[in-house]
């Protein structure tokens, strides 16, 4: 008997084929949404890492990138909304496939040609343009997929089509998977070139999945035409649309604010950038479902217990226990975001208004992102958008206006009035509390936190006490007298007087970048040239390294100093030496050149040139060769990764004289950079010596700080006495060699924390 004899009997009937299609439709839609989101959110950290070498590794790169992504997401949702209104689902699927084909011609992902060094001003808008030209079309195409696929499913007539919002969880799960995988798997194992190639392959697979969904949509759409017309509700009111926008805007702004807050003090790296964004997306997965992972009532009940300690620690103060600080910020951010998104899901519209709903929420995302990422640096001289958004999220707590606005105001007014009075008193008197009041300050902070917890079931009272906590910690912290706060694209800089006015210091984030002694021990004003302090004190590793290299050469001709700070290094120069500072931040240049703030430059080297721009680019563009290159380019504790790569050191060597020396300051509270420098040094044929200084003691007594410094040279003899006194730094086979195409922050961070 032929194997084909019974073939007609094995043909699946049309009715059965339709049944199978109906049965597996949700799986196909969910898989396609998952793949689309996976690709969409893989672009973000991958491309942001590509552009870091152009912008000094500033955390603000990610803030602007987030605003770009949210803006293009809005455009994609608008495209989906128009397509859903004008075309039938199967025609919309065909149109979208044509767009996917056009997008495929722009791959692989790469920086667009013709974009050189960024301008000295308007960096945010330059960066926005770079993102638009390089990845605008792929991101736009992918961003439209989620609302389109959900609207097609809603029109399919499937028994589960009545609530297509559950598919949004699959989309956000894909987003979360991408962001989780990037720091844990992708970044440690793959180069950027390999990442881009794999991404292109994934885009091809997505095109096949969307084609399959399109065929399924064409088959089921006609039968479902009558079903989509039922239960059409009236158009949502303006107030309801504004609530959609507002509840989406607050978490969107918060994710940028908390990311900037954390990455300023750790590292400008995708590893840390993606964590808040991943949590943000996970909140959608948790609440956009019939049965949320955690009930909305539980979220509302627990939120005050994490916001209270955050409110008394958010502004000011040192982050000594940085792991605890990160955990507290992320936990509070997650709870506040769950609250807003839970409220958002509760007021979602019927499925036929799905694309309009997503369009409004996306508009809210752009508003929140633009506030934190673009407007805040121009509106505020500090990171005040973070507490503002925390307060705005508290206003969204259920029951805040349960008794009417008048009752809520009555509960909040006494504490708000006290906050206003304390703020006004500080601005009028500029009174600073002495450091001896620190214990009382801690008692007041604990009392405020306790008061908030007692008010946890009364949203208006809790909100007002949070505002009071922000006011107290911002203006009345003992021992620190703010002189000036200035903000730029690269962060917030604070000039403060410490130790009851004995010294003035410059902070970026919570990291000190230089200090100057103002008064002697007896309180009399100090006279004479400024004395190098902090990391640069006489006998410290930086001063010792410079002096040893100078002794070998009998003096330097030209010196390049990467990173300006307060300009303290100028006072380590000798007469006849030609020093040049390379600094990326114009605000730092202004502060260092102002003798009313610090007079290191004006007293020790008033004619020293300062080259503005990313040091790696400007140093490589220099026509000079240098006997000494000092790498001291901190961005708070976030060292720009691109300054420690193999390509970066190759550039330094091209500008180093034959017997020149490189001094790298690698002090960091969170990252163990010595193995990184050792491995990069080996690739360039350099010898390296390390000194870890632990003798500085209490800063407020001697104004000295400990430092880790590496000295590198082509020959050990060029380092002078360093070669015989400092520890020889050997390559570490367990550590990766960083390049522009590959770096791994996570492992370096864990080595510092756990001593691996």
What is the percent of the chain where pLDDT is above 90?
29
- Of the two residues 154 and 675, the one the predictor is more confident about is 675
pLDDT bucket at 253, cuts 50 / 70 / 90: very high
pLDDT bucket at 144, cuts 50 / 70 / 90: confident
Q: Tell me how far apart the alpha carbons of residues 666 and 677 are, in angstroms, rounded to a whole number.
A: 9
CATH number for the segment(s) 19-112+119-226+237-395: 1.20.1250.20
User: Which range is least confidently modeled, 43-52, 219-228, 510-519?
Assistant: 219-228
Is the Cβ–Cβ distance between 233 and 350 less than 8 Å?
yes
Residue-wise pLDDT for 605-662, tens only, equals: 998 999 988 888 888 889 999 999 999 876 455 566 778 889 889 999 999 999 999 9
User: Which range is least confidently modeled, 19-28, 83-92, 608-617?
Assistant: 19-28
| 3-class SS string, 685-731 | CCEEEEEECCCCCCHHHHCECCCEEEEEECCHHHHCCHHHHCEECCC
- Give 688's strand partners: 712
According to the model, what pLDDT value does residue 215 have?
Answer: 78
For residue 343, is pLDDT > 50?
Answer: yes
Under DSSP, the state recorded for 398 is T
Cα separation values, 271 from 59, 274, 293, Å: 12, 6, 26
Average confidence score pLDDT of the chain:
82
The sheet with strand 511-517 has its strands ordered as 480-488, 491-498, 503-508, 511-517
For residue 536, is pLDDT > 50?
Answer: yes
Residue-wise pLDDT for 464-487, tens only, equals: 999 999 888 887 777 777 888 888
Under DSSP, the state recorded for 531 is P
pLDDT bucket at 224, cuts 50 / 70 / 90: very low
According to the model, what pLDDT value does residue 322 have?
Answer: 60
According to the model, what pLDDT value does residue 4 have?
Answer: 37
Phi-psi region of 48 (alpha: psi -120 to 50; beta: other; left: phi over 0): alpha
User: Which range is least confidently modeled, 6-10, 167-171, 282-286, 365-369?
Assistant: 6-10
Is the Cβ–Cβ distance between 207 and 104 less than 8 Å?
yes
Class of domain 541-754: alpha beta
Q: Tell me how far apart the alpha carbons of residues 324 and 558 are, in angstroms, rounded to a whole number.
A: 45
Phi, psi torsion values for 415, nearest 5 degrees: -70, -35
For residue 520, is pLDDT > 50?
Answer: yes
According to the model, what pLDDT value does residue 580 have?
Answer: 95
For residue 231, is pLDDT > 50?
Answer: no
- Of the two residues 239 and 753, the one the predictor is more confident about is 239
The mean per-residue pLDDT over the stretch 289-317 comes to: 83
Q: Tell me how far apart the alpha carbons of residues 572 and 565 are, in angstroms, rounded to a whole number.
A: 14
According to the model, what pLDDT value does residue 714 have?
Answer: 95
What is the percent of the chain where pLDDT is above 70?
86
According to the model, what pLDDT value does residue 474 have?
Answer: 80
DSSP per position, 232-252: PPPPPPHHHHHHHHHHHHHHH
Most confident of 164-168, 391-395, 405-409: 391-395
pLDDT bucket at 294, cuts 50 / 70 / 90: confident
For residue 34, is pLDDT > 50?
Answer: yes
Phi, psi torsion values for 396, nearest 5 degrees: -90, 0
171-174: long-range pairs with CB below 8 Å, 24+: 171/33, 171/34, 171/36, 171/37, 171/146, 172/37, 172/281, 172/282, 172/284, 172/285, 172/288, 173/34, 173/37, 173/285, 174/33, 174/34, 174/35, 174/36, 174/37, 174/38, 174/40, 174/41
For residue 689, is pLDDT > 90?
Answer: yes
The separation between CA 520 and the C-alpha centre of its own chain, rounded to angstroms, equals 41
According to the model, what pLDDT value does residue 634 have?
Answer: 60
């Amino acid at each position: 008997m032929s194997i084909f004899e019974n073939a007609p009997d094995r043909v699946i009937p049309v009715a059965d084929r339709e049944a199978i299609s109906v049965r597996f439709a949700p799986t196909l839609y969910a898989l396609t949404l998952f793949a689309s989101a996976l690709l969409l959110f893989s672009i973000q950290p991958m491309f942001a890492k590509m552009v870091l070498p152009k912008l000094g590794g500033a955390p603000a790169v990610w803030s602007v990138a987030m605003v770009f992504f949210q803006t293009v997401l809005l455009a994609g949702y608008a495209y989906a909304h128009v397509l859903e209104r004008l075309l039938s689902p199967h025609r919309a699927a065909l149109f979208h496939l044509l767009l996917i084909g056009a997008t495929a011609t722009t791959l692989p992902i790469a920086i667009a040609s013709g974009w050189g060094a960024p301008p000295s001003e308007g960096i945010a808008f330059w960066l926005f343009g770079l993102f638009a030209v390089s990845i605008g079309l792929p991101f736009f195409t992918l961003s439209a997929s989620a609302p389109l696929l959900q609207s097609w499913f809603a029109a399919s007539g499937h028994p589960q089509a009545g609530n297509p919002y559950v598919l949004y969880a699959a989309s956000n799960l894909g987003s979360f998977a991408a962001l989780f995988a990037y720091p844990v798997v992708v970044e440690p194992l793959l180069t950027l070139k390999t990442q881009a190639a794999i991404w292109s392959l994934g885009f091809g697979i997505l095109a096949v999945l969307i084609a399959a969904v399109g065929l399924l949509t064409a088959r089921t759409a006609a039968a479902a035409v009558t079903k989509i017309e039922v239960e059409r509700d009236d158009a949502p009111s303006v107030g309801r649309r504004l609530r959609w926008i507002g509840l989406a805007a607050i978490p969107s702004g918060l994710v940028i604010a908390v990311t900037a807050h954390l990455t300023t003090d750790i590292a400008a790296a995708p590893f840390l950038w993606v964590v808040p964004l991943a949590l943000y997306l996970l909140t959608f997965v948790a609440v956009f479902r019939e049965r949320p992972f955690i009930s909305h009532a539980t979220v509302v009940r627990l939120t005050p217990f994490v916001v209270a300690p955050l409110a008394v620690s958010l502004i000011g103060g040192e982050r000594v226990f940085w792991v605890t600080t990160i955990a507290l910020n992320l936990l509070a951010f997650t709870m506040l975001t769950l609250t807003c998104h839970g409220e958002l899901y509760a007021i979602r519209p019927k499925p036929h208004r799905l694309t309009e709903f997503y369009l409004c929420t996306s508009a809210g995302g752009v508003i929140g992102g633009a506030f934190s990422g673009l407007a805040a640096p121009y509106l505020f001289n500090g990171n005040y958008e973070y507490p503002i958004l925390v307060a705005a999220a508290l206003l969204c707590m259920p029951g805040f206006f349960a008794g009417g606005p008048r009752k809520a105001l009555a509960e909040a007014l006494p504490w708000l009035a006290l906050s206003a009075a304390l703020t006004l008193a500080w601005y009028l008197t500029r009174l600073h509390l002495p450091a001896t009041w620190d214990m009382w300050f801690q008692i007041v902070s604990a009392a405020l936190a306790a008061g908030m917890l007692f008010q946890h079931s009364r949203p208006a009272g809790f909100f007002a006490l949070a505002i009071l906590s922000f006011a107290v910690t911002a203006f009345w912290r003992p021992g620190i007298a703010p002189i000036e706060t200035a903000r730029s694209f690269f962060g917030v800089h604070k000039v403060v007087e410490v130790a009851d006015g004995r010294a003035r210091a410059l902070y970026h984030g919570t990291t000190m970048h230089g200090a100057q002694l103002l008064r002697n021990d007896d309180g009399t004003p100090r006279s004479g040239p400024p004395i190098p302090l902090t990391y640069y004190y006489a006998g410290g590793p930086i001063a010792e390294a410079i002096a040893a290299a100078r002794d070998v050469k009998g003096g330097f001709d030209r010196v390049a100093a990467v990173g300006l700070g307060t300009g303290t290094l100028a006072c380590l120069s000798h007469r006849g030496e030609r020093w040049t500072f390379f600094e990326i931040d114009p605000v730092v240049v202004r502060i260092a050149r102002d003798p009313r703030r610090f007079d290191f430059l004006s007293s020790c080297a008033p004619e020293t040139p300062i080259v503005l721009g990313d040091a790696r680019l400007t140093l490589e563009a220099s026509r000079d060769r240098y006997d000494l290159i000092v790498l001291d380019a901190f961005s708070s504790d976030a060292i720009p990764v691109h300054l420690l790569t193999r390509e970066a050191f190759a550039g330094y060597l091209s500008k180093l004289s034959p017997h020149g020396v490189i001094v790298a300051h690698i002090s960091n509270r969170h990252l163990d950079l010595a193995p990184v420098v050792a491995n990069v040094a080996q690739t360039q044929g350099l010898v390296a010596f390390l000194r870890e200084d632990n003798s500085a003691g209490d800063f407020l007594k001697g104004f000295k700080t400990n430092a880790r410094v590496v000295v590198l040279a082509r020959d050990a003899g060029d380092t002078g006495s360093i070669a015989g006194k400092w520890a020889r730094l050997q390559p570490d086979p367990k550590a990766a060699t960083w390049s522009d195409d590959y770096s791994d922050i996570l492992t370096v961070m864990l080595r510092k924390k756990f001593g691996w």
